A and B are shown apart, each in its own frame.
Chain A
Amino acid sequence: MPVVVPPADPAGLPAPAWLLQILLVFTFILHILAMNLLVGGSVMMAVSLWLGKNSDFYAELAKRLSKALPVTMSFTITLGVAPLLFVQVLYGQAFYTASVLMAWPWLSVIALVLLAYYGLYLVQFRPDWLGKWVIPIAWLSAIFILLVGLLFTHNATLNLAPAKWAEMYAQSASGLHLNWSDPTLIPRYLHFMVAAFAVAGLGVILLAMLYRKTDPQWAEEATRYGARWFVVATILQFAVGLWFLVKLPQGIMMNFLGISTLDTVLLWAGVVLAVIALLLVQRSALLATGAVTLTIVLMAIVRHRIRQMFLGEHVNVNALPVNPQWGMFIIFVLLLLIGLGVVGWMVWQFAKAGKAEQSATT
């Protein structure tokens, strides 16, 4: 079977490849942070609802998570739109092809997200009306969200396998393929999901900070609880990460084991920062969060490097013609800055009003 790769779009890149790659990786990091809180948080909420039947602490945790999760879902989606745009600009040849091959499962992401989202809102707004159904609904939302993650992993790995495309398409054009045969699929998926539990653990610690004054006892217990999730998931991650690394094709794996200095440093600096976060989490959650954020930044870059290694010359974005639209780019940057200002102002107003409200009630 020949390797068939669609030709690049004749319009060329609307900005130099390096700039688009930075935007892709940067916006992907934002999406991943929100996604981690959503995935970990929704599972944590389902667990807490169940344990909350006999425990005030868990009941309260579930309630507080239920208020935060729909907003987190919204931001996961919104922040996902930007990397989806840049990935289509840079890697459309791979992205559209892989997506067509798994069209129906890929389209089901939309339905799963919609159902999970409404489930989260039901749990937040109508827990009494749901009665005993609240736990199954919360679980269903969590499972749908986990499934969406799995489908994204199928898509992402299939993106990286040009050699498989023609054979898959020759077999069937119905868009029902998945990428189960890929040896990196499961470890890659677990690598992302286990990270989500760790980050959501940190998220609970940060959530507890908001209640330090109003509900100190709960805040203290929540801090310990969040730290436990973070520590357990991060230790587990060392095993999962190693599994993912050894399942990479040898030529790619060796780049991270000394062959390429840059790649080796990027990966292992990320690992070291995760270890530092483990040591710091009991003392300062904020420093641990900083270290973990840096780990995520480094790992996102590593992920991008792995994509380039897999695609090689099949899709080489650095070789594409560039047809820059600098005027439009500058307008975008200006509007982005204004937008961030507006967002900052709104959040500030909201936070300020919250403090006034708190001091008025106490």
Chain B
Amino acid sequence: MEYPVWDIPLIGGGMLIGIIAILHVFVSHFAIGAGLFLVLTEQKARRENDEALLAYLKRHSTFFILVVLVLGAVSGVGIWWTIGLVHPTATSALIHIFVWAWAIEWVFFVIELLAAFLYYYGWNRLDARTHITIGWIYFAGAWLSLFMINGILTFMLTTGRWPETRSIVDAFFNPTMLPSLVIRTAVTIALAGLYALITASAEPDESLRERVVKYASKWVLVGISIIPFGGIWYISRLPAQAREISMGGAPVVTLFAAASIVFSAFVFLATLVGPFLFPRRFHVTFAFVIVALGLITTGVTEWVREAVRKPYILYSYMYSNAVRTDEVQKVWERGVLGTAKWALLSEEDKRDPLKMGEKVFRFHCQSCHTVNGVNGIKFAVKGWKKEFLDVQIQNLDQLKGYMPPFLGTDEERRALVEWLYSLNNPPQQAALR
């Protein structure tokens, strides 16, 4: 409530972040796995004196830099842009707690990028040994940058002992940091195989195509096989409430969690039955089908990971609506509009409960809800009477465990009720009745 809230109609902030983040996850994990894929396959090709495979790798690496260096890097910056716009208070907290972790990640990022360029432009220029070494440096830089980001990202859901100790070590090496690292590393391997299926299936030479398709499909199968082990470990380290939300506490989230498992299985089965068993008949269209399934899996999984963090944005430290847990009392005393200086209500506005209610909504609720789009409040309260609305709001955190408590004053609550009621019962119409 300390920053102005950007009013994004229909899709809302969460969805905006989601669109860019899922794209980035899908590309950046590939970026890491592909590094391992390229360098290991190059070693294999050189060992076996396989010129055809080496030529394929050169072509694959063009695709690699076009996807990784451009889309991967730019969408990564894009996430940063978006979270700063949608959740400035939480972004500021993450920046301040982890500034040197970010700075370290930047060092790895610089190494990663330079190594990628030199690997790509060095195919004919460097001797085999140096080329392979630079390939390994690329993979090390890329994986270490995942290592850093993963620590920060998992902190958001499992702050662990940090709220008491305020120690960066506790924050970074939080309870889900390692299991998440295992899952994400496995995903990088699977995605490396998935993207290689695309480039492999476009190879004109039939015998090479068959060999590489089969080889790439093994990467997918191995990667996906590791995920369940990391997954079980990860779930065992979640806060109890987050587990409850994913297992029935909030039906939609449970549905998505199930979808994540089902779609992972689809990717596995499609890869098994398609490129692994019948590499000769594999077609580029089928490659895109598997990639689409992979993208859906990534999307629903990341969505669940975000959803189970409710009602927090930084677990037990800051609620989704940017109220820190240690300032609940203070906000409760001053009210929402007494705290949110950006509400900028004139004396006249303050006498109009509808205007007041709208502002309370914007600064207290809009970080998760839109009016009539994604998670639209208009539909959520359809048919609710004023008394019912009032009871719901008073006991928000009790009735809906994934929502933060309502911290407005009595006057603000009544204004919010009026405004919410007016969404489905416009005042003029109500007067006519």
Contact = CB atoms under 8 A, between A and B. Distances in A.
B39 to A, nearest CB: 14
Interface in A63-86: 70-71, 74-75, 77-82, 84-85
A335 B134 contact: no
B91 A78 contact: no
Contact of B100 (A7, A9, A332): A332
A11 B111 contact: no
Contacts of B130: 349, 353
A55 interface: no
B110 interface: yes
A342 B137 contact: yes
B73 A6 contact: no
Contacts of B286: none
Residue of B62, B70, B91 most packed against chain A (CB within 10 A): B70
B108 A339 contact: yes
B116 to A, nearest CB: 9
A312 interface: no
Nearest to A112: B74
A12 interface: yes
B73 to A, nearest CB: 6
Nearest to A350: B118
A4 interface: yes
Contact of A353 (B100, B107, B113, B125): B125
B344 A85 contact: no
Contacts of A7: 2
B125 A354 contact: yes
A352 to B, nearest CB: 9
Nearest to B121: A350
Given A96-B84, A332-B104, A353-B122, A346 B134 contact: yes
B100 A103 contact: no
A13 B417 CA distance: 41
B69 A74 contact: yes
Contact of A74 (B3, B73, B104): B73
Interface in B97-119: 97, 99-104, 106-111, 113-115, 117-118
Q: Tell me the dominant secondary structure on chain A's binding face.
A: helix
Interface stretch (B75-83, B247-255, B380-388): B75-83
Interface string B1-42: 011111111000000000010000000000000000000000
B85 interface: yes
Q: What class of interface size applies to chain B in its complex with A? A: 35 or more
B168 to A, nearest CB: 6
Given A14-B96, A85-B102, A92-B95, A332 B4 contact: no
Given A6-B3, A78-B110, A85-B106, A71 B78 contact: no
A321 B109 CA distance: 30
B339 to A, nearest CB: 11
B342 A350 contact: no
Contacts of B121: 350
A77 B3 CA distance: 27
Contacts of A347: 114, 118
Contact of A85 (B71, B88, B103, B114): B103
Contact of B4 (A10, A101, A350): A101
Residue of B6, B8, B99 most packed against chain A (CB within 10 A): B99
A4 B100 contact: no
Nearest to A20: B99
B81 A350 contact: no
A285 B406 CA distance: 66
Interface stretch (A113-121, A136-144, A193-201): A113-121
A18 to B, nearest CB: 15
A319 interface: no
Contacts of A313: none
Contact of B82 (A14, A81, A107, A165): A107
A289 B75 CA distance: 34
A335 B126 contact: no
Contacts of B134: 346, 349
A2 B75 CA distance: 37
Interface string A87-131: 011001001110111010011011001100110010001000000
A350 B111 contact: no
A336 interface: yes
A173 B362 contact: yes
Contacts of A149: none
A97 B70 contact: no
A260 interface: no
Nearest to B119: A346
B66 interface: yes
B99 A85 contact: yes
Contacts of B107: 332, 335-336, 339
A175 interface: yes
B78 A82 contact: no
Nearest to B133: A349
B92 A100 contact: no
Nearest to A4: B341
A2 B346 CA distance: 11
11 contacts: A11-B93, A74-B117, A77-B73, A92-B88, A96-B85, A96-B91, A100-B4, A169-B4, A175-B8, A343-B114, A353-B130
- In the A-B complex, list the 9 residue pairs whose CB atoms are closest, starting with the nearest: A96-B88, A328-B100, A11-B96, A173-B7, A110-B78, A339-B107, A6-B2, A14-B99, A92-B92
Interface of B: 2-9, 20, 62, 66, 69-71, 73-75, 77-78, 80-82, 84-85, 88, 91-93, 95-97, 99-104, 106-111, 113-115, 117-118, 121-122, 125-127, 130, 134, 137, 168, 324, 341-342, 344, 362
Given A107-B85, A328-B101, A353-B130, 4 more contacts: A97-B88, A100-B5, A107-B82, A165-B4
